Amino acid sequence: MPPIAWLAVAIAAGVAAYLVAWPAWISYRAREARDRNADRYLAWRGRASRPSSVPTSEGMTGEERRKVITGAALAIGAVAALVAFFAST
């Protein structure tokens, strides 16, 4: 494959990785922040549950996890294509 094609693949895969993973990551972080804010508010009002040693974080949803993993795979592919571009020039 010509070097410019490897560069195009690298750019396309990098953009795709960003477009797939970033919204899922932002959604996850926003939900975590909302949960923390709700816990702080309840503690301020004196209605908080007893603190436990187990974190109450639910983590990522299945869809968010799938999108982040897909984005990571695309990013790895972009790096591999970039290496191929530099190796072929």
> Would 76 be classed as within a structural domain?
yes
- pTM here is 0.77
Between 4-8, 9-13, 52-56, 82-86, the lowest mean confidence (pLDDT) is in 52-56
> Would 56 be classed as within a structural domain?
no
Instruction: Note whether 14 and 85 are within 8 A (CB).
Output: no
> Would 16 be classed as within a structural domain?
yes
Kindly report, residue by residue over 36-89, the tens digit of the pLDDT: 777 777 777 777 676 655 566 678 889 999 999 999 999 999 999 999 999 998
pLDDT higher than threshold 90 for residue 21:
yes
> Would 54 be classed as within a structural domain?
no
User: DSSP letters along 21-73, please?
Assistant: HHHHHHHHHHHHHHHHHHHHHHHHHT-PPPP-SS-------HHHHHHHHHHHH
> Would 53 be classed as within a structural domain?
no
> Would 74 be classed as within a structural domain?
yes
> Would 75 be classed as within a structural domain?
yes
Which range marks the domain in which residue 76 is found? 3-48+61-88
Kindly report, residue by residue over 22-40, the tens digit of the pLDDT: 999 999 888 888 877 777 7
Q: Number of structural domains, the chain?
A: 1
